């Protein structure tokens, strides 16, 4: 990638940050459920979740369509390239930067530190992909996770709003579990296997492999929490009286 393309990519990332900033302001004007309005601590989280939902829908469907439209990319995970994939990585980088700033400037770092760790990993990995133009296909596969995040975010919005229809939450609970397997665990497992088997553990390859393994640990931890919360509540430890605000880690 030449300096001009890198400059253009930086501008795209900056534009994405601005887009999500606009979405955050737009979310302020949307009506909020009584359960959210009555709890000031939830107002910021509700707005933050709405922006996260927008990113999940756009990025998840974008990644899905790009890989469906160009399946030949899957045969070259290291050096395969598409303009759509490049734009997607820039777009999602902007979201992760915006969300990190939103967390920090609204003094939510302590309760959302896991998010900040995740975003730091994603931003550093995506920047390396943008600069080198390599492993973009791997990023597209990882961003399939955003399809799963659509249902994880809906789960949190339903819990925060105290939706009066348990059937809606129950239906989303099972769809969420299926999507977690298909769009989060499956791509993550495949990429981990691929990197450990085919990618040289040096330079960018070593950096991305380390990021991937750390992400594996985080995903398995989140999955265990999700199972305990929605399917095996009797196994939850120390959760009595725990507020839903403390469960933001489940959505990304």
3 state SS of 163? coil
Alpha carbon distances (Å) from 120 to 16, 69, 114, 156: 17, 30, 10, 23
Burial class (CB in 10 A: 0-12, 13-18, 19+), 131: middle
Alpha-carbon distance 100 to 122, whole Å? 11
Residues of the chain with pLDDT under 50: 239-252
State the pLDDT at residue 241. 39
Burial class (CB in 10 A: 0-12, 13-18, 19+), 121: middle
pLDDT tens column, 149-159: 999 999 999 98
All structural domains of the chain with their residue ranges: 1-27+38-228
State the pLDDT at residue 1. 57
State the pLDDT at residue 234. 77
State the pLDDT at residue 214. 96
**Which residues fall within 8 angstroms of residue 147, CB to CB, at 6 or more apart?**
56, 60, 61, 63, 64, 179, 182, 183
Alpha-carbon distance 129 to 132, whole Å? 5
Q: Which two tokens stand for residue 199?
A: 């990618």
Alpha-carbon distance 19 to 30, whole Å? 17
Alpha-carbon distance 180 to 60, whole Å? 13
């Amino acid at each position: 990638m030449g300096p001009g393309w890198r400059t253009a990519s930086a501008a795209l990332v900056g534009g994405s940050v601005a887009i999500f900033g606009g979405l955050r302001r737009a979310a302020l004007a949307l009506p909020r459920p009584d359960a959210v309005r009555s709890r000031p601590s939830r107002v910021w989280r509700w707005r933050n979740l709405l922006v996260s939902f927008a990113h999940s829908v756009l990025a998840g469907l974008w990644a899905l369509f790009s890989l469906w439209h160009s399946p030949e990319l899957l045969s070259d995970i290291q050096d395969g390239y598409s303009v759509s994939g490049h734009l997607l990585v820039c777009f999602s980088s902007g979201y992760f930067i915006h969300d990190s700033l939103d967390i920090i400037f609204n003094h939510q770092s302590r309760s959302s530190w896991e998010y900040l760790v995740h975003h730091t990993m994603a931003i550093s990995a995506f920047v390396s992909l943008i600069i080198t133009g390599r492993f973009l296909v791997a990023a597209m596969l990882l961003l399939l996770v955003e399809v799963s995040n659509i249902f994880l975010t809906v789960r949190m919005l339903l819990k925060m709003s105290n939706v009066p229809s348990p059937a809606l939450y129950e239906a989303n609970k099972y769809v969420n579990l299926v999507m977690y397997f298909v769009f989060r665990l499956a791509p993550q497992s495949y990429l981990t296997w691929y990197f450990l088997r085919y990618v040289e553990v040096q330079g960018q390859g070593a950096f991305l492999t380390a990021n991937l393994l750390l992400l594996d640990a985080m995903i398995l931890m989140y999955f265990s929490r999700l199972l305990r919360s929605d399917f095996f509540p009797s196994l939850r430890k120390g959760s009595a009286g725990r507020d839903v605000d403390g469960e933001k880690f489940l959505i990304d």
